[in-house]
């Protein structure tokens, strides 16, 4: 097995290093973040840095890069205090990927990338009409990470838009059935297939399969 250490890290070309470490930690969720500014200008951006923070209350964390240039998503979230998270499926992942392009602030990625802005009374910010699992969040707080000048946006889920047939009797959301995809790094997308669900782990008891 090859060993790559800190000395090797320093020798890596900048883009190689970014690609290497972005893909090293495995598969990640990939979502579209929908926002709107106080003037009604919509914005849509792809993110692969979301993570679950808790279920009661339902909290989501989102890592954002240093605010050294315009960060339309971040600025809109802080200004309006609301945003949406929209899961991506295989039938529109190329459109979703295109939202990463550096569009001007007064240009909507919904229009440029061929995606539908959908509104619900629960939230000012737009949802993605093509998404099959999506939710609205209130902005709770921003946590700065001094080590690299990134920050974590914490949002609380206040409404979920999802088809009834995607929710099992025990609350499990069937993302495979929804067609939700995953990603590795910044540009590789994967379809998902469930291997199994296993029962709650207990000492000296082998886990059972859950249908």
For the segment 161-195, what is each residue's pLDDT rounded down to a tens digit?
Answer: 998 899 998 899 999 999 999 999 889 999 999 99
| Sign of the Cα pseudo-torsion (22, 42, 139, 60, in order) | negative
SS3 191: coil
Query: What backbone torsions phi and psi does residue 19 show, to the nearest 5 degrees?
Result: -65, -40
Burial class for 113, CB neighbours closer than 10 Å (0-12, 13-18, 19+): buried
CA dist., res. 134 & res. 32, Å (int): 9
Specify the pTM: 0.92
Q: Using one digit for the tens of pLDDT, what is the confidence trace for 56-111?
A: 999 999 999 887 767 899 999 999 999 999 999 999 999 999 999 999 999 999 99
pLDDT of residue 69: 67
Residues with Cβ < 8 Å from 133, sequence gap 6 or more? 86, 87, 160, 161, 162, 166, 173, 175, 178, 180
Query: What backbone torsions phi and psi does residue 102 show, to the nearest 5 degrees?
Result: -85, 75
């Amino acid at each position: 097995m090859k060993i790559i250490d800190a000395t090797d890290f320093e020798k890596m070309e900048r883009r190689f290093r970014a690609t290497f470490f972005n893909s090293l930690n495995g598969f990640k969720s990939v979502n579209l973040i929908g926002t709107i500014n106080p003037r009604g200008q919509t914005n849509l951006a792809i993110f692969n840095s979301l993570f679950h923070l808790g279920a009661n209350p339902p909290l989501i964390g989102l890592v954002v890069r240093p605010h050294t240039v315009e960060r339309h998503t971040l600025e809109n979230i802080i200004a309006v205090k609301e945003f949406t998270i929209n899961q991506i499926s295989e039938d529109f992942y190329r459109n979703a990927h295109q939202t990463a392009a550096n569009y001007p602030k007064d240009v909507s990625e919904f229009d440029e990338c061929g995606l539908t802005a959908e509104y619900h009374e629960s939230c000012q910010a737009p949802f993605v009409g093509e998404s099959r699992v999506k939710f609205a969040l209130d902005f709770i707080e921003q946590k700065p990470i001094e080590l690299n000048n990134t920050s974590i946006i914490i949002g609380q889920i206040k409404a979920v838009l999802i088809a009834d047939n995607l929710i099992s009797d025990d609350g499990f959301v069937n993302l495979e059935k929804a067609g939700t995809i995953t990603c590795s790094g910044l540009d590789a997308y994967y379809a998902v297939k469930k291997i199994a669900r296993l029962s709650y782990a207990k000492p000296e008891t082998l886990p059972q399969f859950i249908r």
